[in-house]
Amino acid sequence: MNVDSEASQGDPFSLQGDLDIGLRDGILGIMFNRPEKKNALTSAMLIQLNRTLEAAKYDDRVRVVLFSGAGEAFCSGADVSGLKRSAETPESERLKWDPHFTPRHCNLYKPTVCAVNGICAGAGLHFVADCDIVIASERAAFVDTHVNVGQVTALEPIGLARRMPLDQVLRMVILGKAERVTAAQALTARMVSEVLPPEKLLDRAYELARLACKGSPEAIRISLQLLWESLEADPEAIHRKGMQALLKHRSHPDATEGPKAFLEKREPVWR
């Protein structure tokens, strides 16, 4: 079953097709599942991603979101046929299209893990830029091919420049497919935080997701929101906001339960 208008009316946490989505033990797994197309993103996939992530924001069952790719690629970017259709659409109509399909686009401040198993190109770089923890297989590679197909690259490099050296991002933007960043280079550039053998990648991703489930959901949500917003805010303003959030959270049940469980040498029970 493909992700289409009919499929998108079902459970946003249970889907098999171009996106393989499932929720288990607090971990919402989202796998790009078009291996024959190197997991290129269609407009229908973007719509479903938006629907799933928006639902995840407000559903307490979702503690962590984990992105991965089926087959040999993670995500090769946007489906080129979609770019052609977009070019043939009147500009006034194109400008109405404002896709929101990553955690940052949707203002989702729950832990996100991205496991890059192979090639990650173009729009696939959104998930590297916008996830909290990014790990990669030794076979992974990163490349921004927008300029090679006559497209502006804007959102992906802006996001990547927040987490890695600007000179590397500029090389990717200017050189396009000629600047292919290996997993080892991505680790050195801090694009990813771990590089693993291919057969260990997904197990490690789920291990990290399970560890992320152990913290107070509300404390993590507030902390992540403050950290991400600090990248765009005035330093003094975000400092004040952070201190206010910290002090306000002291009255939350988790803020009492955490120290109590520590002293009693037991696992905390979060609200």
The mean pLDDT values, 10 residues at a time, for the chain of 271 residues are 48 95 98 97 94 96 98 92 62 62 94 98 96 98 91 89 95 96 98 98 98 97 94 74 77 87 89 82
205 φ/ψ angles, rounded to the nearest 5 degrees: -60, -45
The CB density around residue 174, as the number of other CB atoms within 10 Å, is 12
DSSP-assigned states of every residue in 105-143? TTT--S-EEEEE-SEEEGGGHHHHHH-SEEEEETT-EEE
> What pLDDT sits at residue 5?
41
> What pLDDT sits at residue 91?
60
**Residue spans per domain, the chain:** 7-212, 217-263
Counting runs of H as helices and runs of E as strands, what totals does the chain give?
A: 11, 11
- Give exposure, 119-145, as e/b (b: 16+ Cβ within 10 Å): bbbbbbbbbbbbbbbbbbbebbbbbbb
With both helix axes pointing from N to C terminus, report the angle between 217-230 and 235-249 in degrees, rounded to the nearest 10: 170
173 CB contacts (<8 Å, ≥6 apart)? Answer: 144, 146, 147, 153, 157
Would you call 247 exposed, middle or buried from its count of C-beta atoms within 10 A (0-12, 13-18, 19+)?
Answer: exposed
May I ask the CATH class of domain 7-212?
Answer: alpha beta
How many angstroms separate the CA atoms of 76 and 21, rounded? 19
> What pLDDT sits at residue 117?
98
> What pLDDT sits at residue 87?
57
The CB density around residue 258, as the number of other CB atoms within 10 Å, is 16
> What pLDDT sits at residue 82?
61
The answer to whether the predicted template modeling score (pTM) of the entire model surpasses 0.85 is: yes
